[in-house]
Every structure is written in C-alpha cells, then in structure tokens.
Homo-oligomer: A and B are copies of this chain.
Amino acid sequence: MSVDKSYKDKKVMSIGIISELTGLSERKIRYYEERKLIFPERTGKGTRKYSFSDVERLMEIADQIEDGVQTYEIKKELTKKQQRDERNKMIRGQINAQFNMRN
C-alpha cells in the first residue's frame, strides 16, 4: 500500500548539488535544517543527503524568507501542516479498520 517513494523522495544528493540546484549557499541550507525546516538524511559518516522534494521545499523556504517571513513562522506553518497530515492519517486508519472488520 503506497511504499515506492520513487525518485522524487529518495535522499541521494549531497549539499553541493543542492546548492547548485537551488542557488542557495550551503550555509543557508544548513541553517534551515538547524531551524527544523528541512530534514536531510545522513550517510554513515555524516554527510547530508537530500531528495528532489527537498529541493522544492528549499525553493519555497527561500521565497518566504525573501518575503520577510522569519524561520520561526515558516516552522509554525510546517508544524500545522504536519498535524493536519497526522490527523488525516489517523482517520484513514480508522476507516480501514472499519472496512477490514466487514470482511
């Protein structure tokens, strides 16, 4: 049931390419992670790995920063979004439970 992740979400790029792809400095990229706006994975020895989704996410963040939005605000929005997703996930779980009981 939806497992793939496919290419878009695979964390495979190092910070250098991400910097190139987004036009953001590595400093900025690392800082947005520090502020919990983005979540790269790490290789065994600690180098960051990003996905194409992360690239898109970074562009959004950059746009907001440019509009004067503070990282704190961006983070708040993100948290809200995650809570919505969390609720939806629970509801879906319950619907599935109902459905399975019928069989």
Cα distance A7–B12 in the bound complex, in angstroms: 12
Cα distance A13–B52 in the bound complex, in angstroms: 11
Q: How many residues of A contact B (CB 8 A)?
A: 12
Chain B residues whose CB sits within 8 angstroms of the CB of A21 once the complex forms: 12
How far, in Å, is A100 (CB) from chain B's closest CB? 35
Cα distance A10–B52 in the bound complex, in angstroms: 10
Binding site for B on A (CB under 8 A): 7-8, 10, 12-14, 16-17, 21, 43, 49, 52
**Chain A to chain B contacts (Cβ below 8 Å), 12 pairs:** A7-B7, A7-B8, A7-B52, A10-B52, A12-B12, A12-B13, A12-B17, A12-B21, A13-B13, A14-B14, A16-B43, A17-B49
